[in-house]
Amino acid sequence: MMSQGKLFNELKSGKVFPVYLLLGEDIGAKDEFLQHLQKSLFNETDEKMVNVSVFYGDEAVSEEIIENLSTFSFFSVKKLIIVRDFERLKNLKLFSEYLESPNSDSVLVLISGKKSAPKNILNGVEKYGRMSIFWPMFQNESERWVTLELNKFGIRAEPDAVHYIIELSGTSRNELKGQVDCIVNYLDENEFLSLEKAKKIIASLNSYTVFDLCNALFVKRPGEILKIFRYLINNGEDLVKINYFCGRELRKLLEAYSLKNTGYDFYQISSTLGFRKKESERIGTILKKIDIDTFRTLYSSIASLDYTIKSNPKDISVVSFEKFLMALGK
C-alpha cells in the first residue's frame, strides 16, 4: 500500500503502471490523480476521447471491460480503463484472472469508496501495479488546501473564514472543492473573503443556488424550476449571473451533443468532459430528447433574454426569464 503523496510523485516522475487500485472516501483526490494520469498518457484531446473508457460497477459487464482491456489501441500508445465502484461488478473473478498477466498496452484503474478489496485483487495489483487509500485530509492540510484553491481564483481569505468552510464541509477534498467552487461564484477576483462574508454566502448556499437551477433544467417540472428561480431572485441573486450560468449549462450540453454526433459513446463523452456519475446520468437523459433545432431556439432565446435583462426594468426581465425557464421544464 502506497501513500497518496508517493503515488502522485511517482506519476510526476513519469512512471505509469498497468493497474492501479484507489480505495477510500476522498473522491476529489482520486479524481485529481485520474486527471494527472490522463495528462501523462495522452498529449492530445483527441487521443483522450478515443482511448479513455469509464465504467460503473453497478451497470457494467465484466466481460466487456476485460475485452476492452485486452485489445490493442490503434490511436495511442496506451488505453485507460476506469472502473468506478468496481466492487459492485458481478464477476470479479475475471479481474483476478486478468491481473495475473495484465496487458501492458492498457492502464486499468479500479476505484472504490471502501477501505479494502478482495485478497485476490489486492495480490494482483500488488504484483504489477500500485494501490493507495485516499483518506480525507488532516485539519492543517485542509486549511492549506482551501487557501491555495481560493488563491487560484485570486481570492485572499481570512483564516477564520477558511476554518469556517472546513467546519461545515469536513476535510474531504471533494466536499471542500464543491464548497469552494460555489463560494467563488459570489466573489470578484482579488476580493477578500472575511468570516462574515463566508457565513453570508454559505447561508444562501444552504437553500438553492444557481447550480440547483441549472441541474433542474430539462429534468424537473416547470413549477419546480420556477420555485428555485424565485428563491434566487427573492434572495438578491443577479439576473445577469443566472443567465450566464444557464448559458454555460447549454454550452456543456452542446459539447456533449456534438461528441455524440461524431460517434463517441457516452462513456467517452463523460470522461472527456469530466462528468461525475449523477451529472453523467442527467445529461445522458437530456441528450435523448434534444436535437439541433432545439439548441438553435435556446441560443436565440438566451441571447434575446440577455438583451432584455440589460435594457429593461427588473420586473419585465423577471417575467421574460420565467417564460424562458418554463420552456426548459420536463
**Within this chain, do residues 185 and 283 fall inside the same structural domain, yes or no?**
no
**Within this chain, do residues 265 and 153 fall inside the same structural domain, yes or no?**
no
Number of structural domains (the chain) is 3
8: CATH: 3.40.50.300
Q: Which residue is it, cell 478515443?
A: 50
Domain boundary, last residue among 133, 163, 195? 133
Verdict on whether the full-model pTM lies above 0.85: no
**Within this chain, do residues 11 and 129 fall inside the same structural domain, yes or no?**
yes
For the chain, the three-class secondary structure string (H helix, E strand, C coil) is CCCHHHHHHHHHCCCCCCEEEEECCCHHHHHHHHHHHHHHHCCCHHHHHHHEEEEECCCCCHHHHHHHHHCCCCCCCCEEEEEECHHHCCCCHHHHHHCCCCCCCEEEEEECCCCCCCHHHHHHHHHHCEEEECCCCCHHHHHHHHHHHHHHCCCEECHHHHHHHHHHHCCCHHHHHHHHHHHHCCCCCCCEECHHHHHHHHHHHCCCCHHHHHHHCCCCCHHHHHHHHHHHHHCCCCHHHHHHHHHHHHHHHHHHHHHHHCCCCHHHHHHHHCCCHHHHHHHHHHHCCCCHHHHHHHHHHHHHHHHHHHHCCHHHHHHHHHHHHHCCCC
152: CATH: 1.10.8.60
**Within this chain, do residues 87 and 63 fall inside the same structural domain, yes or no?**
yes
**Within this chain, do residues 20 and 106 fall inside the same structural domain, yes or no?**
yes
Domain boundary, last residue among 164, 185, 206? 206
**Within this chain, do residues 125 and 154 fall inside the same structural domain, yes or no?**
no
**Within this chain, do residues 124 and 97 fall inside the same structural domain, yes or no?**
yes
Domain boundary, last residue among 96, 112, 133? 133
**Within this chain, do residues 201 and 259 fall inside the same structural domain, yes or no?**
no
Which residues, 6 or more positions from 14, have their beta carbon under 8 angstroms from its beta carbon? 40
**Within this chain, do residues 165 and 227 fall inside the same structural domain, yes or no?**
no
**Within this chain, do residues 298 and 315 fall inside the same structural domain, yes or no?**
yes
Which residues, 6 or more positions from 144, have their beta carbon under 8 angstroms from its beta carbon? none
pLDDT of the chain, 330 residues: tens digit per residue: 888 889 989 998 989 999 999 998 887 788 888 888 988 888 776 666 677 888 888 888 889 999 888 876 655 568 899 998 899 888 888 998 999 899 888 999 999 988 889 888 998 899 999 999 988 777 788 899 899 999 988 999 999 999 988 887 777 776 787 788 888 888 888 899 999 999 888 876 666 778 889 889 998 988 889 988 988 887 778 888 888 889 888 988 998 889 888 888 877 888 888 777 778 888 888 888 888 888 888 888 888 888 888 888 888 889 999 999 988 886
**Within this chain, do residues 229 and 261 fall inside the same structural domain, yes or no?**
yes
- Domain of residue 11: give its range: 4-133
267: CATH: 1.20.272.10
Cα–Cα distance between 144 and 147 in angstroms, integer? 5
**Within this chain, do residues 167 and 271 fall inside the same structural domain, yes or no?**
no
